[in-house]
A and B are shown apart, each in its own frame.
Chain A
Amino acid sequence: MSRIPLYLKERIEEVNKRALLDSFESQKLPRWEKTAITWFALMIFWMVVSASFHWQNILIGSIVTFIVSLLMYDMFTGDIQSSGNVVIKTLRILLLYIPQYIFIMAFRLLESNLKVMKHAIFLDINPGIVKIDSDLHSQTGLTILANSITLTPGTMTIDTVRKLDESKLYVHWIDVETMDRDKAGSMIKGDIEEWLKNIFW
């Protein structure tokens, strides 16, 4: 690398960054698929809220949710990875990934509640703020990871830093066990990050 002049180095870094950004952008879904997924999710929400299977109800619901999904198609589908068929992917997310996530998070939440109970009674705390790395680069994935970290035992996200290739999380740990970044990352994140990589980029 020392043979490359300094003024070329910046250009090369810039080109690399742009290629990386393009590769991330190309993983996004096209617009009609985003609209379709939003419509599907809002339709499920409408059926749950209105709690009736009459044809008038279904007709009104489909019209209303179609208009809302045309207006707000980018709100929670903007960062879903595009790979494979849409229908298969949606069904897999609904039937496989979301129950899996709920199953993992329910037990982690119970464990974290019991841990807070233990800390509140014995006051054996050793707090500190540590920094961990993450492989997720999209906003939604990082947000769900941070919210899950807040609900898992003993940790709470203070801030996230999202740059193009590296995203970091600052985590307040109520009982600091290790200062090493990789070890702390694997202890804090657990298997949630692996799960989130299935859906978000």
Chain B
Amino acid sequence: MSALHDETTVVAAERVSAIEGRLTRIGRSMATAMIPVIGAFVIGGLLLAVLGRNPFSFYGNVIHHGLIGSLGRQETLIRMAPLLLIAAGLMIAFPAGIWNLGTDGQYVMGGVIVADLGPELAPHFSGFVLFTTLFVVGFAVAAIWSLIPAILKAWYGINEIISTLMLTFIGLRFSAFLVKEYFYDRETTVPQTRVLAVADRLPRMFSSRVHIGLVVGFVAVIAVHFMMRNTAFGLRLRIVGMNPKAAIHAGMNMKALTLAIFTLSAGFAGLAAAVNIAGVDGVVRAEWNPAVGLLVVPLVFLARFHAASVIAFIAAFAVFQVGGESASRKADIPNFMVLFMVGLLLVFMALGEYMQLRSSRKH
């Protein structure tokens, strides 16, 4: 009995110290969020200095264009929409222990069908009906495409890292084939689909250029977050991810769950493509491969599948991408600098995660 008593006192003490430490905790977590950024900026700054550029004006330009200036900030927000949707899908797959590394293929497959369908439907439907249809189609096509690795995994135990990576390569080729053979707009010389007219694109918000796809992205990430944490389905997925044997032991239908994980995860990638095509691109060319999925993967991991962190990281990433290209141009260095800086940031964020873990273990 006394052992139990001891433990309750410890808990009570923890509670008190938790309230006391809340302020310092906020400070600390802000610091842990910023240290990696500062670290990456310092190393990147050194490289810039070696190349004879002023690091301060470079970073100033990144932030200024990516975050502050209205022109760039809008682009940052627009860029975030598909990234958030892809992240929503990964927030389902990764906690469930499914390594869906094929979002790029799923994105392109969803996108190519939506791009063909959009101009087809636009004259007959408009607004809500049109976009809902396109979103559903994008989601569904990518989900169907992902049935291949899903079935290979659920019925034949075939590792999904291999199958999803391969299906990305295949999907890119297959979509090029579709564009060239079936969806080719014969009025253009370059193989591409017909263009969804600017008037038929997603509505924009608050008299800016930011289309409502951003809202769809935010809603998706938060909804997935809520689903994973508060619904029976989400708990089942997490159990499958944490301990598949326990899931079997508890009587869960592994095949059905595996199919659900793949289709949902891929579906969001398809939805991301649909949003971007209906909101920004309006068209898909043969050989189209925006290759955004692989960039979202580390962000989702670093955010530990938490909606707030996912949104924060994707925002920071988009700021960096949009601002970085502009800043590179102003500094007259190749924009490969952005790629390098993103790599650096990720390395430092991984380091920061380690520091955070260590400090939470200590306290």
**Mutual binders A and B:** no
A residues sitting closer than 8 Å to B (CB atoms) are none
B residues sitting closer than 8 Å to A (CB atoms) are none
